[in-house]
Structure formats: C-alpha cells, structure tokens
A and B are shown apart, each in its own frame.
Chain A
Amino acid sequence: MSDHSTSVFAQIARASEDPILGVTVAYNKDSDPSKLNLGVGAYRTEEGKPLVLNVVRQAEQKLVNDPARVKEYLPIVGLADFNKCSAKLIFGADSPAIQENRVATVQCLSGTGSLRVGGEFLAKHYYEKTVYIPSPTWGNHPKIFTLAGLSVKTYRYYDPATRGLDFQGLLEDLGNAPMGAIVLLHACAHNPTGVDPTLDQWDQIRKLMRSKGLLPFFDSAYQGFASGSLDADAQSVRMFVADGGECFAAQSYAKNMGLYAERVGALSIVCKTADVASRVESQLKLVIRPMYSNPPLHGASIVATILKDSNLYNEWTVELKAMADRIISMRKQLLEALQARGTPGDWTHIIKQIGMFTFTGLNAEQVAFMRREYHIYMTSDGRISMAGLSSKTVSHLADAMHAAVTGVA
C-alpha cells in the first residue's frame, strides 16, 4: 500500500520573489514613515495615492446602473467593440490595415496576456521560434516567451556609457539575426530604461527589419502616457503598418487608463489580407480557449464605454496628459535637486528618458544602500518609477541618491 499522505510535490523548493512585484512586498513590510515605493510602475498622484480616472468612475457608474447588463461569457476573442476601438487607438482610426479588415484583434489579459497569447500563436504557427528582446527589458518578457514555447535571444539596446540608445549595437545585432526572427520592440517609453529611438532611428530599424523579414512584435504599454499624446506615442507602430508589412502589437490599458488590476489589453496581428486575418483569428481562439476560455468582462466594458463616447474619450485624453505632465515635471524636479546638491555625474538622462521609468545608472549595491538607509524601494537594476515620486518626496530621493553615489561604490 502506497503512503498516500506523502505529497507528490514534496520536493518542491520555494520560488524566489518576483524581482519587481517583490519590491512592493518588501516595501509593505517596512514601517518607516519616510519609506518610498519607486518599484512597480503604478501611477501615483502628488499625494502619493493611486488614481482612478474620472472617466473610469463615470464609465463604472454607467455600467452598474444599467439593469440590462449581464455577466455572460464574452466570446473567446473578447468584447467586439473593445477590440475595434483598441485597434483604432493603436493603428489610427484611418489606418488602411483596419479599413481593409487585415487586422485580427483579440482581447487579452493586459500586456502580459497579449504577449503570451501572441507568443503561443507564434510557437504554433511560425517557422522561426526565436524572439529577440532588447537588453535590458521588462523582467517578465523572457519568461513569457519561454513559457510560450519560443527561445529567447537579446539585442543590444541600452548604452550605460551614454545612458541612451546603443543604436549601432542594435542595428548590428538585428542585422545578424536569422531571417524571419521575431523582434520584440517597445512601442514607446522603453521599460526599464525610458530610452526610445528617434523617429529617424525607428525608420532605419524598420528598413533593416523588412529587408531581413524580421517579424516586429510591439509591446505598447504606455500609449499616451509617455509624451501625453496618444498619436505621438503610436508613431513607431504606425510606421511599420504604413509600409504594408505584417506585425504584432500587444496593448495594455493598465497604466494609461489606470485599470491595472482589471487586466485589460489587446493583441492585434496585422496581416497581408483580410482572409489571412480571419484565419489567424480563428487560430488565436485555439490558443486562448485552453488558457482561460474567454477574457474578463469588466475592464473591457469600461474601456469600450470610454472609447465609444466622444465626451468621455476627450476627458480621458486630458486626464492622460495630466498624468504624463506630472511625470515630466518630476523628472525636471529630480534633475534640479541633484544638480542643487552637486551630485557627481551627468544626470541629464533623467529628463531625456521618457515614460514612467528612469534608469538611474545606480548599481545593485547603491540600490541596497538606499533601501537600508533611506527606505527607498526600487528594483536592483536601478530603475525608479517616476510615477511614485511627488514634489514632497523628491528631496528625500535626491538625498539618498547623493549619499549612494558619493558613499557607495
């Protein structure tokens, strides 16, 4: 008789904390009143509070007060209105790809879910199983693609010397990639560095990629959040669609609509023809069904309500710009504070980088020092979430950085 009381999983070791989400766990355990969470990229107001957008509240009220609303399963591909509006948002309402019905769009669980579904589709249907991701990139990217069944390689991206783009390295590495390889591109506001190519550099990247048949897979997690303009932040993606070629785009509404926990996003695959797009959509369903059957209803309903109503949409663009502007202002304030302290080094990258994060250039020891001595929480790669800063807390951070830079190697 077998001993049924021994677990089949007895040998399992405890997994280490997620490097990003683990920062918040540690922050929550800290009781020091001056503690500052610059870890996970979630927007905070000047008062350090999470923000639910007014348009979201209005949309929620509309939904809750509508007695005709039901909670039935969405189709596997998600809410149709949401999908249409999402495609228009990223590709532009007048995009020929949309008008020609060449875009297959499926609602997914925020950016993560969109990347995972796209990755699994590629692993099943694409002949090239390697995806090139920039170095560095969001910590979850390699795991997503690996579990999707792809193998992951990197291409040079960030230049620590300039704290900017290693453009030559990028071109070389993509130039050496095998024909047809998948290339992950951050549409704007690169995470974690905040370093984006210029439009001219994007065009060069595009030409190189098209000449080698490299497949673009855009991760768009910050549209509107980076510059404050939804259209400006989508330029890179639209450039690739305009040349008539194919591409993938993963969209997230976590940050730009503040819908983090509702897990709202979309995966769009721009195809050559409408017929191909229709077949692709049917195959996407086969990826989604065994993963979670169909996507969650609530967040997508909120987004669709806002995007379909021109008043709510306009209000949203105003709120979005305000968030982006506050972050840009924090960048300026942090730079000024460091300059005022005479902190050694060139810190102008703080205002050159864009989006929610600044790649400070601090090393792991300095980061640990700042956590210990100043109760400042960030990821060990030196990435800080500007959204977690306020005018009141900038000086605390500047003090900490100054101490770290002058005192810790």
Chain B
Amino acid sequence: MAIRTAITRRITSSSSGSILFNSRSMSSWWGNVQPAPKDPILGVTEAFLADPSPDKVNVGVGAYRDDNGKPVVLDCVREAERRIAGNLNMEYLPMGGSNKMVEETLKLAYGENSDLIKDKRIAAIQALSGTGACRIFADFQKRFSPVSQIYIPVPTWSNHHNIWRDANVPQRTFHYYHPESKGLDFALLMDDVKNAPNGSFFLLHACAHNPTGVDPTVEQWKEISYQFKVKGHFAFFDMAYQGFASGDPERDAKSIRIFLEDGHLIGCSQSYAKNMGLYGQRVGCLSLVCEDEKQAVAVKSQLQQLARPMYSNPPVHGALIVSTILSDPDLKQLWLKEVKGMADRIIGMRTSLRENIEKLGSPLSWEHITNQIGMFCYSGMTPEQVDRLTKEFHIYMTRNGRISMAGVTSGNVEYLAKAIHEVTKAA
C-alpha cells in the first residue's frame, strides 16, 4: 500500500513538471525488501570463513575434506579433465542434457543390467545436481498431479522444504528420527505411511539420511516398500550419497532396488556432488520409471518443458567429466576405489570421535556416532550447546546439532571431542 501511495505522489509531482522525468527524486522500488535470513547451512561456512581463530573447525556444510582438512579433487576427475580440455566444442547440450552421462547414471541407480533401462522405461534428464533434480520433479508433480502433496521426513535437508514450497506443492511430514534412541522411529514412520491417503507422494532418502545419518535396515525397507504397495504411494528417492555411505554404490542403492523389485514406479534424484567431488559443477540426474517406452518418451518431453524456462539446457563440463569416467573401465575402477577411500576415512573418523568422547568419561551414550552412516552425524546437541561450541571453541556446525564427519580429521578429532564433552557433560 505504501508503495502505491509513493507512486501516486511521484505521478503528481512529475505531471506538474517537465516531460524530462528526474529519476533521482524517486525512491527505490525495493525499499521494503527485507534482508533475507542466512541459509542455515551455507551461512555456517560464511561465518567460519570470517573467523580469524587458528583453532577453528568447520563441520558445517557437507563437503568432503581429506585428513588435512583440505578439499579433494579425485584423481579420476583430474584425469577426465585432462582428456576433455581442448578437445570438444561447447555447443548447447539438448534440453535433457548429455545422453551418455544420463545412461551411465541410470546404471548406477537401477543396476548395470536393469530391465527397466533395456526396455527404455525410464524418463531421465540431466539436472543441476540434487537440488535441480528435486526442483524439476517438484514442478513436474505440481503440473501433472496438481492436487497432490509431498510427505517429507522429519528432519530432512532444510532445502527440501524450500524446493517444494517454491514449486507450490503443499507439504506434510512423516515421522523419521527418534530423538531418544537417536535412531529410526520405525513404528511411527509406518503409522504415517498407513494413515496417509492412498496414492500419496513420499520423499525418501535412499541412503545416508541427511541430516541424521539414520537409515532403515534392509528388512525395514522391505516393510516400507510392502506398505507402499498396499497404499499405492509414490516413492521419490533423493540419492545424494551413493557410494559415499558404505563405500559400495551397489549396497547404497539397496533401498531403491527393493522398491523396484516390488514393482514400484519410482522417481529418483541423483547427485555427483559428493561421490565424485563435483560439487560446484552441479551435475545430477532426475529419473522417473514409467509403464512403457512410449510413456517414458512423453514424460521426458514434459520434464524438458520444465527445464527450458529455467535454464534452457544444463551445463556440459561436469557431465563430460562423469561420462568420461563412467564409460572408461579403468577410470571407473579408479573412481570406485576413491569413493571407498572417502567413505572409509569417514567411518574411521566416526570410530575415532566416539572413542575420544568416551575416553573423557562422558555420562552420555555416543554409540549413535558409529551407528549412523554417511557424511553426517546427528549428535543430539541442542542449539544452545551448538552456539557454545561456536562461541567458545570456534567450531562451526548447523544449529540442529548436525556434524559433517567429512570435516573431522585426525588433527582435530581430539579437540572436537573435548569441546563436545565440555558442552554436554552437564546435560
């Protein structure tokens, strides 16, 4: 309202003056724009970078670090880049992205010898990493299932809420994390699945749940899949950590394979940000399993219709790296070895962190550190305890108590353990 009044005032003053309108007398159109809150995850790194303390530790954003706390570019990636540089032109990819990269990516999720791939029943496009894949799916869901909602686990990666909100898809939640055991609340999860209306859309983390690191067991996944059959629910898997969780990509895709065996027509978001270390390249894939090839062609064409007005066609560089690596058996082997190396280092750090805290005589149980899997540990610390970690110890993490294990090194694990013990011992 205030803006309209301001404009009326401007109109009056200019109509009484000359035709040459003096813009300097106008105030900004954006005067009422509020400063946005910092992104809870990415804001942590900003704060970390601004901290001058030599002891500072960043266990905030989920980006892998080696044991020296340094970011890593995988050898297989460096080699792929050497082969790519100088060789190819930069013509637009098709709207659906690099076919070669998509083909290789589907094999990872669905299996090398998947019949679904052979029968061309999967509609798939290259996407802007996991975020982009989820967003295109959310837009697609809005367009083609306009009355549907999305069931999102509690907790989840905070950006999931932003994505489906901006796609205008209403959100509901389902029970997931059990704070008392720092594990899965399987009973309430199943209740929520049963109580949701038939044919509901669910967002599932395929492995290495973010932020809790708590995954269902194979048996639990089978039960979830069965109940989804009974209810006719739609399963959308966000798989951002394949290979990164256990070190074995096949094992990490087990949840998806269980659902496929049961005949579910799933959707899937895949990201190469972590498992290939291609974070800034924004490489991922969105796929939807269809009844037949004809439907897959139709669905893919519609996915492209959503990509076109967002970015026209996806960036080529990261896709080239992926397809170069995955289509060369030697490079692929090297990648598998490097992924396992990253996963093993994290598993090692989990053990080390837990042992160090226990050594200090903590009254609390820390077995969840080694029970949980993937990049993150849901420590169970409160926001106030996290704030103390930051203020007193210059340790940076998100206020939900999520620790990025990738940021833990043999150099800082003792310091981190000491700090955690300090802020939790009175709890």
Contact = CB atoms under 8 A, between A and B. Distances in A.
Interface of A: 1-15, 18, 21, 25, 40, 42, 49-52, 56-57, 60-61, 64, 69-76, 109-110, 112-113, 116, 120, 125-127, 140, 143-144, 146-148, 179-180, 207, 210-211, 213, 215, 243-246, 254, 258-263, 269, 271-273, 276, 278-280, 282-283, 285-287, 289-299
B90 A260 contact: yes
Contact of B311 (A14, A109, A215, A289): A109
15 contacts: A18-B308, A21-B94, A21-B313, A50-B91, A61-B85, A73-B63, A109-B315, A112-B311, A126-B29, A140-B308, A143-B308, A180-B29, A273-B28, A291-B135, A292-B132
B128 A64 contact: no
Nearest to A102: B28
A280 B31 CA distance: 9
Interface of B: 3-4, 7, 10-11, 14, 19-21, 23-24, 26-31, 33-36, 39, 42, 46, 61, 63, 71-73, 77, 81-82, 85-86, 89-95, 128-129, 131-132, 135, 139, 144-145, 159, 162-163, 165-166, 198-199, 228-232, 234, 262-265, 273, 277-282, 288, 290-291, 295, 297-299, 301-302, 304-306, 308-318
A259 B85 contact: no
Contacts of A5: 263, 265, 291
A112 B310 contact: yes
Contact of A18 (B27, B95, B288): B95
B282 A296 contact: yes
A378 B144 CA distance: 32
Contact of B81 (A1, A64, A246, A297): A64
A249 to B, nearest CB: 15
Nearest to A269: B30
Contact of B279 (A72, A126, A143, A282): A72
Contacts of B302: 12, 14-15
Nearest to A57: B86
Given A2-B231, A14-B298, A262-B316, A279 B30 contact: yes
Given A14-B297, A245-B23, A143 B33 contact: no
A64 B90 contact: no
Given A4-B232, A9-B290, A207-B19, 17 more contacts: A9-B145, A12-B144, A14-B298, A21-B92, A25-B94, A60-B86, A64-B82, A64-B85, A140-B309, A143-B308, A147-B309, A269-B30, A271-B30, A272-B27, A276-B31, A289-B131, A298-B280
A134 B245 CA distance: 52
A40 B92 contact: yes
Contact of A261 (B14, B90, B132): B90
Given A42-B91, A292-B131, A144 B309 contact: yes
A112 to B, nearest CB: 4
